[in-house]
Amino acid sequence: MDVPVERVLVAVRVRPLSDKENKKNAFSVVQALPHEPKVLSVAGKGYAFDHIFTDICEQASVYEESVRPLVKKFCAGFNCAVITYGHTGTGKTYTIGTDSKLYEDDSAGIISRVVKDILSGNNTMDSKVMVEISFMEIYNEEVYDLLTCQPTKLIVQVFSVQSLKRMQVTTYEEVLHHLEFGGANRHTRATALNAHSSRSHAIFTVYYHQIFGDHTVQSRLDLVDLAGSEGVRHTGSRGVALNEAKNINTGLLHLRNVISVLSKNTEDHIPYRSSTLTTVLKDSLSRESCVTVIVCISPSNLDITKTVTTLQFAEEAKKVMSKPKVKEI
């Protein structure tokens, strides 16, 4: 059954002002416009997106509006990806939910909700289902398996990651265990390299196998927590950090180019091979896939330059047709 879903959807999510920002008397420069639901006003300029989630939007509505339709498509046999993009501290991890604090209750992020939805069996048709997961990260263009006892460096060959461990799961608790295990591995690896986990891309993948008598339909859903998008210029990096920042910039730039080709729906060449990130995500970024990008931003006047850079980047990935007319605020 075909579920009508837009193939590339770009949403923006604004996090609330933090206590630290409130203490500094920071204020919000971001405003949703009641008469133009797809336009976000930032310091008086309008940016158009498919969805806008303001600082009062809860995790449940972000999931229901921007991810749940995609899960239905995924369970119908299509490859999909949900990607969070933005500077460090804007809510990417909170939104996608790779952090162990976010597995339960109202603050549960996308991964928890996806897994619950899939394992509930509500999306399954007349078939037997087998679900597997994997968890990897990309740091400095290298891929690490987070589900092995020591984070293992893996080889990427012609669009597949060799020997990436996949775990079959039947319960939500099993998935949480693997997520926690992988998260701990991620922090250990980052600490050992004197790095920060926000400088790597984390990819949690769900594989869905539906067995219909004599044939199997397989699909994958990549849930991606991207590295912080602060560029080389902003970090003022040197040495190892500069190399890290350059690799992050390159990966993000190529990802934007791939998404841009997909969103234009043209026959243009899709440059998957230009970075490890796009190589690894090739299957879920194909012309038949559905992709949701959630762009995370801070509302604070103190972050305005970074926020504008993020929004411009996202606009380049997909030009949403709307009339961004706004009044100065």
Q: How far is the CB of 89 from ligand ADP (least distance, A)?
A: 5
Q: Is 307 in the site for ligand ADP (CB under 6 A)?
A: no
Q: In this complex, which beta carbon is closest to ligand ADP, that of residue 14 or of residue 261?
A: 14
Q: How far is the CB of 94 from ligand ADP (least distance, A)?
A: 3
Cβ contacts of residue 235 below 8 Å, gap of 6+? Answer: 241, 245
Q: In this complex, which beta carbon is closest to ligand ADP, that of residue 72 or of residue 306?
A: 306
Using CB under 6 A as the criterion, what x/- string covers residues 196-235 for binding ligand ADP? --x-------------------------------------
Q: Are 71 and 118 in contact (CB under 8 A)?
A: yes
Identified binder of ligand ADP from the candidate list 28, 88, 188, 235, rule CB under 6 A: 88
Binding-site positions for ATP = 86-93
Contacts 24+ apart (CB under 8 A), 176-182: 176/103, 176/112, 178/133, 178/135, 178/147, 179/98, 179/100, 179/103, 179/111, 179/135, 179/204, 180/100, 181/146, 181/147, 182/135, 182/146, 182/147
Span of 42-50, 86-94, 126-134, 208-216 interacting with ligand ADP by CB under 6 A:
86-94
Tokens for 213?
A: 């008598």
Q: Are 109 and 223 in contact (CB under 8 A)?
A: no
Residues 126-185, interacting with ligand ADP (CB under 6 A): none
Span of 83-91, 159-167, 178-186, 249-257 interacting with ligand ADP by CB under 6 A:
83-91
| Calpha distance 47→71 (Å, rounded) | 27
Span of 42-50, 92-100, 121-129, 241-249 interacting with ligand ADP by CB under 6 A:
92-100
Q: Are 60 and 95 in contact (CB under 8 A)?
A: no
Identified binder of ligand ADP from the candidate list 94, 144, 208, 272, rule CB under 6 A: 94
Q: In this complex, which beta carbon is closest to ligand ADP, that of residue 252 or of residue 290?
A: 252
Identified binder of ligand ADP from the candidate list 92, 113, 186, 254, rule CB under 6 A: 92
Q: How far is the CB of 284 from ligand ADP (least distance, A)?
A: 21
Closest-CA residue to 77 (of 218, 205, 206, 207): 218
Using CB under 6 A as the criterion, what x/- string covers residues 279-298 for binding ligand ADP? -----------------x--
**Helix, strand, coil percent content, the chain, rounded in steps of 5:** 35, 25, 35
Q: How far is the CB of 78 from ligand ADP (least distance, A)?
A: 27
| Calpha distance 258→149 (Å, rounded) | 33
Binding-site positions = 86-93
Cβ contacts of residue 34 below 8 Å, gap of 6+? Answer: none
| Calpha distance 205→220 (Å, rounded) | 7
Burial status of residue 128 (CB atoms within 10 A of its CB: 0-12, 13-18, 19 or more): exposed
Tokens for 327?
A: 């009044």
Q: In this complex, which beta carbon is closest to ligand ADP, that of residue 5 or of residue 10?
A: 10
Residues 15-34, interacting with ligand ADP (CB under 6 A): 15-16
Q: Which helix (H) or strand (E) holds 279?
A: helix 276-280
Q: In this complex, which beta carbon is closest to ligand ADP, that of residue 247 or of residue 289?
A: 247
Interface with ligand ADP by CB under 6 A: which residues? 15-16, 86, 88-94, 198, 296
